[in-house]
Structure 1
Amino acid sequence: MSKVLMKGNEAMAAAAIKAGCKFFFGYPITPQNEIPEYMSRNLPLAGGTFVQAESEIAAINMVYGAAGSGARVMTSSSSPGISLKQEGISYIAGAELPCLIINVMRAGPGLGGIQPAQADYFQAVKGGGHGDYHLPVFAPASIQEAVDLIPTAFEVADRYRTPVMLLADGMIGQMMEAVEFKDLPQKTTVEKKWATTGTRGKREPNIITSLDLDSHRLEKHILEIKKKMDLICEKECRWEEYNIEDADIVAVAYGTTSRILKSAVEKLKNEGINVGILRPITLFPFPYHVLENLPEKVKAVLTVEMSTGQMVEDVRLGVNGRLPVHFFGRTGGVIPTPQEIIDKVYEILGGGQ
């Protein structure tokens, strides 16, 4: 299987088509524009449909409609565009419809800037829209991992009847790396008896809605969604560990920030300082249990993010007061350097270089 050099956005779009995506609805916004551009050229060639909607709000409601038919469908956007989609995402979660949403994060709040950031963590992981719901959230650290996670994300969406988000920062979207594409089945193995495919006189009509004015029935529905999310937490949590068993400090980072962190950790290792890495691959479910069971040798935890500190709250929940939790972050589109992380580790250890 040969590798091909691709920009991240285009590779993610190609992976979605190979995973059987048949509908894409979106609206342009930097730094994810290559996803709809690629889809507009290549999805029709694969028998699918591309629509550039009149707005982000229109796009996410088109996703609702296509998902209701049982088709594999996705949309993509970047930070403020995802904010505009939140009402529709909440509708889709309430209606229990599978779809894939890609957020290539940029700096904010507001229009912010087009440089990479990780400040959409709360929005993605804590629900984002109104009501009681969560999205499974995948956070790739490389273009290859993004390509590999997209079919998994579609399968999780189909299996649990839920929208799924792939949360990538602008670096994942805009940089180029060599990737390979696995041969994938074009259809899910999940039977979609709930889909609105027409009764053909053989069954009762399927009704898909997120509205229920009966409070007790709605409560039952919400608790069923909660039960489903609990099952996702049990079955679908993914993470990567590096050098935790021998570590004096464990650092936590996701996405491309974890790659910068790994460079810092390798240099620290050469200086005789053992720092382990916990990299959440799913941000929801979050690998709390890894933090709950850190070896006794670990003296502190450091969270590194391209934000003012959002994931650090989940890290503190996992540590649950047993260890000090430190934070280092850059925001506004500023990317942390390995040396800045090294300096923070020395600060935690109580001395400079």
Structure 2
Amino acid sequence: MARRVLIKGNEAIAMGAIEAGCRFYFGYPITPQNDIPEYMSATLPKVGGVFLQAESEVASINMLLGASATGARAMTSSSSPGISLKQEGISYLAGSEIPAVVVNMSRSGPGLGGIHPSQGDYFQATRGGGHGDYRTLVLAPSTAQENYDLTILAFDLADRYRNPVVILGDALIGQIKEPVELKPYHKKPPQKDWALTGNEGRPQRILKSLYLADGELTEQNWKLAKKYARMAKEVRFEEYLTDDAEMIVAAFGSVARILKTSIDILREKGRKIGLLRPITLYPFPSAAVRRAAEKSGHLMVVELNTGQMVEDVRLAVEGVAPVDFYGRPPGSIPTPDELAHEVDKAWKKRRA
């Protein structure tokens, strides 16, 4: 039976992971995601799982690779600089087609930056981030409830495509405390006929990302590319008050939840404005964005950075409609009134 609890966003991720069958967690502390390893350290042993605080982010991602290679559901989490250190391992996971879940509760940067919420890791998450020609599925929650639900989904998608899945949140999404409905997970674990399970009198299994024979790596990369193309059917997004909108704002994660109130404020002033929120950042909801542009004739992108997702929006729109942008680099969180003011400015500018 489902039950409702008041918890932090980070705790919701940890609870979702355990509910989905995650029994191995490897990590290293960094603010603002430390509630995740704290919860896992206390809870995983009670359900027969293993928590291990590694000596570094580099060690933790490679421990994750080893555990996931046996077919177990495993996860790591970190924040921005820590995720940067994990990039080589994430590339190895993708190249070896090993499923895993990687959580980034991002903080501000570049460099050490600070612990404020930021969406500056969008490029890193959606472009692979590490070396080589690969992709990761990327899920962007905007509530504590979605932290729970999308973590469960992340494990299913990782197994479905034998690929790493990134959950991209930020300090606001991780630290916010909200009611969350904890829904039971009833799916059967998938059969993993590729997993390394020791000598069982079966044909040999090899998981690798090193291909040295002539043409072998080319063939493997095309195989991966076809898989990434199949991922396109996993696209997810939310629309808010878009049916009659004459301008649609595109935003993800924490800033999208603030914008809902901003749009309500503007609606009271007679502005027909809606919101399109990508939930999957990869695959990106390009078709939905283009339809929004064709329907409304005016898009605006708002991000907690100096401009990253706006590039994907403009690629999707292909000049069908103007795309305005407002960015708020890390250091402060915009209020609904501040964002309403910026959106209203863009509205008026196009109608002057």
2:264 to 266, 275, 279: 266
Q: Which residue of 2 aligns with 1:171?
A: 172
- Listed one character per residue, the Cα deviations across residues 249-290 of structure 1 (whole Å, up to 9, x for unaligned) are 110011111111110100111100011111000000000001
TM-score after normalising by structure 2: 0.96
Q: Which residue of 1 aligns with 2:241?
A: 243
Equivalent-residue separation in structure 2 for 1:296 and 1:191 (angstroms): 44
- Tell me if structure 2 keeps the 8 A contact 1:20–1:185: no
Q: Which residue of 2 aligns with 1:161?
A: 162
Q: Secondary structure at the match of 1:180?
A: strand
Q: Which residue of 1 aligns with 2:112?
A: 111
RMSD: 1.4
Q: Which residue of 1 aligns with 2:4?
A: 3
Q: Report the Cα offset of residue 14 of structure 1.
A: 1.2
Q: Secondary structure at the match of 1:122?
A: helix
Q: Secondary structure at the match of 2:212?
A: coil
Q: Secondary structure at the match of 2:259?
A: helix
- Tell me if structure 2 keeps the 8 A contact 1:57–1:85: yes
**What amino acid is the match of 1:209?**
K
Q: Report the Cα offset of residue 83 of structure 1.
A: 0.1
**What amino acid is the match of 2:223?**
E
- Listed one character per residue, the Cα deviations across residues 134-169 of structure 1 (whole Å, up to 9, x for unaligned) are 100000010001101111110000011000000011
- Tell me if structure 2 keeps the 8 A contact 1:9–1:34: yes
TM-score after normalising by structure 1: 0.96
Q: Which residue of 2 aligns with 1:194?
A: 194
Q: Which residue of 2 aligns with 1:257?
A: 255
Q: Which residue of 2 aligns with 1:332?
A: 330
**What amino acid is the match of 1:27?**
Y
Q: Secondary structure at the match of 1:74?
A: strand
Structure 1 residues 302, 94: closer, same or farther in 2, change over 3 A? same
Q: Report the Cα offset of residue 298 of structure 1.
A: 1.4
Higher mean displacement: 317-326 or 329-338: 329-338
Q: Secondary structure at the match of 1:230?
A: helix
Equivalent-residue separation in structure 2 for 1:24 and 1:295 (angstroms): 42
- Tell me if structure 2 keeps the 8 A contact 1:250–1:275: yes
- For structure 1, the residue ranges without an aligned partner over 5 or more in a row are none
Q: Which residue of 2 aligns with 1:145?
A: 146
In the alignment, does 2:182 pair up with 1:181?
A: yes
Equivalent-residue separation in structure 1 for 2:242 and 2:317 (angstroms): 14
Equivalent-residue separation in structure 2 for 1:193 and 1:173 (angstroms): 35
Q: Secondary structure at the match of 2:215?
A: helix
Equivalent-residue separation in structure 2 for 1:133 and 1:349 (angstroms): 38
Q: Report the Cα offset of residue 333 of structure 1.
A: 3.1
Equivalent-residue separation in structure 2 for 1:193 and 1:174 (angstroms): 39
Equivalent-residue separation in structure 1 for 2:303 and 2:120 (angstroms): 9
Equivalent-residue separation in structure 1 for 2:66 and 2:225 (angstroms): 23
Q: Which residue of 1 aligns with 2:220?
A: 221
Equivalent-residue separation in structure 2 for 1:11 and 1:247 (angstroms): 33
- Listed one character per residue, the Cα deviations across residues 284-320 of structure 1 (whole Å, up to 9, x for unaligned) are 0000001222365513111011111100000101111
**What amino acid is the match of 1:303?**
V
Q: Which residue of 2 aligns with 1:308?
A: 306
- Tell me if structure 2 keeps the 8 A contact 1:20–1:186: no
**Taking every aligned residue pair, what percent have the same amino acid on both sides?**
54
Equivalent-residue separation in structure 2 for 1:187 and 1:165 (angstroms): 22
Q: Report the Cα offset of residue 214 of structure 1.
A: 2.1
Q: Report the Cα offset of residue 105 of structure 1.
A: 0.6
Higher mean displacement: 334-343 or 246-255: 334-343
Equivalent-residue separation in structure 2 for 1:297 and 1:272 (angstroms): 19
Q: Which residue of 1 aligns with 2:52?
A: 51
- For structure 2, the residue ranges without an aligned partner over 5 or more in a row are none
Q: Report the Cα offset of residue 324 of structure 1.
A: 1.0
Structure 1 residues 296, 69: closer, same or farther in 2, change over 3 A? closer
Q: Report the Cα offset of residue 340 of structure 1.
A: 2.2
In the alignment, does 2:332 pair up with 1:342?
A: no
Equivalent-residue separation in structure 1 for 2:324 and 2:213 (angstroms): 46
- How many residue pairs match? The answer is 349
Q: Report the Cα offset of residue 208 of structure 1.
A: 1.0
Equivalent-residue separation in structure 2 for 1:348 and 1:254 (angstroms): 19
**What amino acid is the match of 2:230?**
L
Equivalent-residue separation in structure 2 for 1:216 and 1:301 (angstroms): 44
Higher mean displacement: 69-78 or 7-16: 7-16
Q: Which residue of 1 aligns with 2:289?
A: 291
Question: Any runs of at least 4 consecutive aligned residues in structure 1 with deviations exceeding 6 A, and if so which?
Answer: none
**What amino acid is the match of 1:214?**
A
